Chain A
């Protein structure tokens, strides 16, 4: 009789799988930080008074949203070398994910920024603040509180999307499991452990986002106890 779940195999390979999970989390965090910064620049550029800049941003966002992430990954890793741009796996994965997520996150930023009433802009301007200062001190701090839960959900999505990076041979947790399974055929055990690992990270993260949603619905006092 074939045992479906082989505890011995699970324990044996836990080390390499955990290393893969660490790489997955690292990739997620790096892309998170980069796309948070880049998406803000994209959002601000998309609201620029220069028409040409707005069109460039619009085109970028539509291309990123209109093509599969998997294709973008493959494109950067396998097609760019043909024109002389050769990136290591981790860099290629990071670049593709950052470009893709920044397109979506810039729209989230834009929504948050536009949700701030004109009265706030008027009050800041009347106090002698320049547009840049008002954006930094008045608009963004309020906008970020509004979009925090949405950002959280995108990052949970990102954590799972990093699995696609196996196609550019980043040894994140799923790719690690594929390699091991190719040798010992313990698919059930390995993929179950991997599934459990993903869940063990994303479930608490989702709860954290749920908590953020609740506190951002409350007043400002509840956010600064």
Chain B
């Protein structure tokens, strides 16, 4: 690799998203460098999740450009005319960015190792034995080696979410996105998932994390972004944002969530 001047892993320019008359993302510009851990915080309905879903093309933004690892993703614009990429090309880009969902979304008809092996075998066409070996490695990494042959419904929420992280990692993604990965968990299960995420950050994974866990953002993030009403209001070093937010809206939000 010739990375004298490495392009950011994820680059977003002027992203606009509407749901009917609702303007959910109002011109988002964001770039995430390789190895960076960016936490996005903000009130519900501020567009955080929609932003992640647009980056993965689970929602289709009406305006703006997304680059993943330097490549223009999902559609080209030639002279003001947009041309959507083929489904296959969209799938290939998505395969490079792992996504972890609030409700885990494990495949209930497959065992845990089956969940982890599914995409490497059927999307990347890796040999089963290799996918299995790598899958077990990842399950060990998230502390679930002994649950490999169980079905998702037999696991606790925290275990399911760790399995979902292993499933995403099995694709060897260039970046990982977490969409409120701990919001659906009982309080006592949140820590085990955050520990796995922290470990992943320590290993140098590029991460984009939408979260309500302010301590995680404070301790793990290399940058914190505060979003409100579809815009990035403020961003910067976590210490600075939490200790001394510049914007009134950030201050109000932090006061509300930290008082709990």
Tell me what chain A mostly uses at the interface: helix, strand, loop, or mixed. Answer: helix
A residues near B94, Cβ cutoff 8 Å: 125-128
B residues near A128, Cβ cutoff 8 Å: 91-92, 94-96, 119, 123-124, 171
Report the bound CA distance from A197 to B123 in whole Å: 50
Which of under 10, 10 to 19, 20 to 34, or 35 or more describes the interface residues of B?
A: 20 to 34
Check A220 against B151 for contact (C-beta < 8 Å): yes
Determine whether A119 belongs to the interface, using a CB cutoff of 8 Å to chain B.
yes
Determine whether A120 belongs to the interface, using a CB cutoff of 8 Å to chain B.
yes
B residues near A224, Cβ cutoff 8 Å: 151
Report the bound CA distance from A155 to B132 in whole Å: 39
Report the bound CA distance from A71 to B87 in whole Å: 44
Determine whether B140 belongs to the interface, using a CB cutoff of 8 Å to chain A.
no
Determine whether A131 belongs to the interface, using a CB cutoff of 8 Å to chain B.
yes
Report the bound CA distance from A128 to B174 in whole Å: 13
Report the bound CA distance from A219 to B152 in whole Å: 10
Cross-chain pair count, CB within 8 angstroms: 79
Report the bound CA distance from A131 to B151 in whole Å: 24
Once A120-B105, A220-B108 are accepted as A-B contacts, the answer to whether A126 and B99 lie under 8 Å apart by CB is: yes
Check B119 against A129 for contact (C-beta < 8 Å): yes
Count of chain A residues near B, Cβ 8 A = 23
Q: Which of A82-90, A107-115, A133-141, A207-215 contacts B (4 or more CB under 8 A)?
A: A133-141
A residues near B119, Cβ cutoff 8 Å: 127-129
Report the bound CA distance from A129 to B107 in whole Å: 13
Q: Which of B91, B98, B153, B164 interacts with A130 by CB under 8 Å?
A: B91
B residues near A117, Cβ cutoff 8 Å: 105
Q: Which residues of B contact A (CB under 8 A)?
A: 56-58, 87-88, 91-92, 94-99, 101, 103, 105-109, 118-119, 122-124, 150-154, 164, 167-168, 171
Q: Which residues of A contact B (CB under 8 A)?
A: 117, 119-120, 122-131, 133, 137-138, 141-142, 145, 219-221, 224
Given contacts A123-B164, A126-B97, 19 further A-B contacts (CB under 8 A): A120-B105, A120-B107, A122-B58, A123-B107, A125-B56, A126-B58, A126-B98, A126-B99, A128-B119, A128-B171, A130-B88, A130-B91, A131-B87, A137-B122, A141-B109, A219-B151, A219-B153, A220-B152, A224-B151
- Which 8 A-B pairs rank lowest in CB-CB distance, beginning with the nearest? A128-B95, A123-B105, A127-B119, A126-B99, A119-B105, A220-B151, A128-B123, A128-B91
